Amino acid sequence: MPKTVLVVYAHPEPRSLTRRFVAETIQTLERQGHTVHQSDLHGMGWKATFDEDDFPGRINNDRFAFIQESEHAYRTGQQTRDVATEQRKLLDADAVIFHFPLWWFGMPAILKGWIDRVYAYGFAYGYKGAGNRYRYGDGILKGKRALLSVMVGGPAQDYAPRGINGPLDELLFPITHGALFFPGMDVLPTHAVYGTGKLDNAVAEKEIAAWRSRLDNLFDETPIPFRRQNGGEYQGNILAEEFSPGEAGLTVHIDH
């Protein structure tokens, strides 16, 4: 059955490997019969900073309180047009694919700014006016799929479980578990290409072919088994002792 996929990407160079992957994503998904929407953040001139200019109808001009202003703008339909447009794209999508290079152990600032601004209070958090009731597996984006396609300049060994840079899955945990699973999306394992700073064209073509295979299974692949907040495993937002006993850290929030 045809689906709708939103492709969000952040790279200013049209000839970059990131953008080659974007082009392959669009071509492959459209060839499969899916509808593809795009958010080319650099091409759009996306405003990355989340500040008072996002709220032309302030409720408090004396002190700027982000959550209160965000809630008011979202609830009363006074968000800026660019933010409201991206929210509609998210709601229309069955899956969201993010393409970006790993810059300083995370996403580029322009993509972080997309999340900061689009994830309004009442939309991605504070859903249904219920505070933290609907998050980590529940929320407005529940039932949608998400997938990161990340270009990594360094070699894979630097991001191995004992690699000097730290495991890539843990570096990206604030994105996969936080920005994506928090509002309810089912997050697929990250697709990473390593050594992109010195990748010759033959190897790049093999990597693109591997990515094409991932796209063939976009709606069939098993998501990362993050533990759901409302699944009975947390007590007072603390993981109960019977789950991953004796362990701590990020990985306890994945049901292995």
Per-10-residue mean pLDDT of the chain, 256 residues long, equals: 96 92 97 97 96 92 92 95 98 98 96 98 94 94 98 95 95 97 98 90 92 95 96 93 91 92
- Whether residues 203 and 248 fall in one domain: no
Same domain flag for 183 and 117: yes
Kindly state whether residues 144 and 249 are assigned to the same domain: no
Are 219 and 229 contained in the same domain?
A: no
User: CB-based burial of residue 80 (10 Å sphere; 0-12 exposed, 13-18 middle, 19+ buried)?
Assistant: middle
Q: Are residues 51 and 168 in the same domain?
A: yes
When computed from its CA atoms, the radius of gyration of the chain, rounded to whole angstroms, is 19
Query: Are both 203 and 108 inside the same structural domain?
Result: yes
The total number of structural domains that make up the chain = 2
This prediction has a pTM of 0.95
3-state helix, strand, coil in the chain (%, to 5): 40, 15, 45
Query: CA-CA distances (angstroms) from residue 46 to 12, 102, 169?
Result: 12, 19, 27
Domain shared by 151 and 235, yes or no? no
User: CATH number, domain at 46?
Assistant: 3.40.50.360
Whether residues 121 and 242 share a domain: the answer is no
Distance, in Å, from the CA atom of 163 to the CA atom of 92, rounded to the nearest integer, reads 39
What is the predicted pLDDT for the residue at 1? Answer: 87
Q: How many residues does the chain have?
A: 256
Signed CA dihedral, 71, 173, 225, 41: sign only: positive
200 and 248 housed in the same domain? no
Say if residue 208 is in the same domain as residue 171: yes
Q: Looking at the structure, do residues 146 and 253 belong to the same domain, yes or no?
A: no
Domain hosting residue 81, numbered range: 4-223
- Rounded to an integer, what distance in angstroms lies between the CA atom of residue 198 and that of residue 121? 42
Does 83 share its domain with 148? yes
